[in-house]
């Protein structure tokens, strides 16, 4: 199998984030590096009957700070978060929030979401069954369907280029980033707003994951509940959030004097073809995705300094990912730092890849690896890998690999490189 490296170069010029650690990038990044937790008892609904009663909620999210009353009323919470992060990313990139002319036509949006408008779906189905079909909102379908965050953002900001959603469970926004990279490389856009959003902290959603035995039941210690790579992990913590990155063709960014954070230089996507929820043995599907991404980037596994792990804190998923990383990097493992941002914020499902990507870009730019802050007893399958337990590490970083995997065996891998002007 061979790939042709080349095409137009793609850089990151803007960032936006709404997470359980904060509703903008500086707050999110600052608290992440400090090893703080955004996980607490569920407050968005009564979780008293559930076995898992903790979540990563965005407790200080007020969409009316940015969106007008109509935008708030007619959009699901996930879409609201996407609009806020798109706006922050555009402003950070020095781009107008109302695009016009050729810039509008050459700007697209890909927004990944695993579940779409979860809250709207649950609420409106209940309304239909309890109060009758005449009480269902006329905005039910537009608010619930998974493509609407990208669609509404295109309307709000005047982006007229490629616009759709990627839905591959928890790999959704990883695929959105990678596909946006490919869109720019082949010349179909000069600018892409690439990201993800999810607002899954709802009774039926949490109950569904709980029934799968996928969630942590460490209800008495919420801040310690999400424990990626730890020997005492007992499942993931559901979380909500959104993140958006402005990807831009290099010469386009240079012509307008944009600040460049990092370069996106490779992307790989594969399928395990193995099981609806369990990863392929040894993580070989993820390894193949990473190798494809590295090949497109013209890099070797020995060039990797940082891996942003998918690392949800499940008993089976974490060790499989560790085996895959070790297979990929081999003897270079002793030089590789691994970070698991879900230790601080929980698992934002379809938004997870984009939320992690913002942290990766900041890590490359600042030379800091954020900690896996709940890691006290590292899984022995880590081998020589540095899992960055408890505290952030300052180190020189040039190349990072970001993993994002989804139920159904869908894998994405994105390679980013520190920008050297």
- Residue matched to tokens 């895959």: 324
Give bridge partners of residue 40 from the DSSP assignment: 55
**Which residue reads 């969106």 in tokens?**
67
CA distance 320 to 290: 15
Q: Which of 175, 252, 295, 347 is catalytic?
A: 347
Rounded (5°) CA angle 223-225-230: 115
Beta carbons within 10 angstroms of residue 142's beta carbon: 18
CA 311 to CA 229: how far, in whole Å?
A: 7
Q: Which of 175, 252, 295, 310 is catalytic?
A: 310
- For residue 22, the tally of other CB atoms under 10 A from its CB is 22
- How many CB atoms are closer than 10 A to CB 335? 14
Q: Going by C-beta distance under 8 Å and a sequence separation of 6 or more, which residues neighbour residue 374?
A: 37, 223, 224, 226, 227, 228, 230, 343
Residue 335 neighbours by CB under 8 Å, 6+ apart? 305
265 catalytic? Reply is: no
Whether residue 345 contacts residue 20, with contact meaning beta carbons closer than 8 Å, is answered with yes
Active-site pick, 170, 175, 252, 265: 170
45-49 contacts, C-beta under 8 A, 24 or more apart? 45/201, 45/202, 45/203, 46/203, 47/203, 47/206
Which one, of 293, 386, 288, 365, lies nearest residue 12 by Cα?
365
**Cβ–Cβ under 8 Å, residues 372 and 340:** yes
H runs (alpha helix) in 132-241: 140-144, 148-157, 172-185, 203-211
Choose among 415, 418, 397: nearest CA to 335: 397
Task: Give the C-alpha separation, 267 to 412, whole Å.
Answer: 7
Q: Assess whether 310 carries a catalytic annotation.
A: yes
* CA dihedral (274, 278, 284, 288) positive or negative: positive
Cite the active site residues: 170, 310, 347
């Amino acid at each position: 199998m061979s790939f042709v490296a080349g095409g137009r170069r793609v850089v990151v010029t803007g960032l936006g984030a709404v997470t359980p650690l904060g509703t903008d990038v500086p707050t999110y990044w600052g608290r992440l590096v400090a090893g703080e937790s955004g996980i607490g008892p569920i407050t968005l609904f009564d979780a008293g009957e559930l076995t898992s009663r903790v979540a990563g909620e965005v407790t200080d999210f007020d969409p009316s700070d940015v969106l007008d009353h109509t935008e708030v009323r007619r959009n699901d919470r996930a879409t609201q978060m996407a609009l806020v992060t798109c706006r922050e990313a555009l402003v950070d990139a020095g781009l107008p929030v109302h695009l016009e002319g050729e810039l509008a036509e050459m700007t697209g949006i890909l927004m990944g979401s695993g579940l779409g408008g979860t809250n709207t779906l649950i609420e409106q189905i209940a309304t239909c069954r309890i109060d009758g079909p005449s009480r269902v909102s006329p905005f039910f379908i537009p608010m619930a369907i998974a493509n609407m965050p990208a669609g509404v953002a295109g309307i709000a900001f005047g982006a007229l280029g490629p616009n759709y959603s990627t839905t591959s469970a928890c790999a959704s926004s990883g695929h959105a980033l990678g596909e946006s990279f490919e869109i720019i490389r082949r010349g179909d856009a000069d600018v892409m707003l690439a990201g993800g959003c999810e607002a899954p902290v709802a009774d039926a959603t949490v109950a569904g994951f709980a029934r799968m035995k996928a969630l942590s039941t460490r209800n008495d210690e919420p801040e310690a509940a999400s424990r990626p790579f730890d020997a005492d992990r007992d499942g993931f913590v559901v979380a909500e959030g959104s993140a958006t990155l402005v990807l831009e063709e290099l010469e386009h960014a240079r012509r307008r004097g944009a600040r460049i954070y990092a370069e996106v230089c490779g992307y790989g996507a594969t399928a395990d073809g193995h099981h609806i929820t369990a990863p392929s043995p040894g993580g070989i599907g993820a390894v193949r995705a990473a190798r494809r991404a590295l090949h497109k980037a013209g890099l070797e596994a020995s060039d990797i300094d940082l891996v942003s792990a998918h690392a949800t804190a499940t008993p089976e998923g974490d060790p499989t990912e560790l085996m895959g990383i070790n297979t990929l990097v081999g003897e270079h493992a002793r030089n590789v730092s691994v970070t698991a941002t879900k230790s601080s914020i929980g698992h934002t499902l379809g938004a997870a890849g984009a939320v992690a990507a913002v942290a990766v870009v900041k890590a490359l730019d600042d030379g800091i690896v954020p900690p896996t802050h709940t890691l006290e007893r590292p899984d022995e399958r880590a081998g020589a890998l540095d899992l960055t337990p408890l505290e952030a590490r300052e180190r020189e970083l040039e190349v990072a690999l970001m993993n994002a995997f989804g139920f159904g065996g869908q894998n994405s891998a994105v390679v980013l490189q520190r920008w050297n002007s």
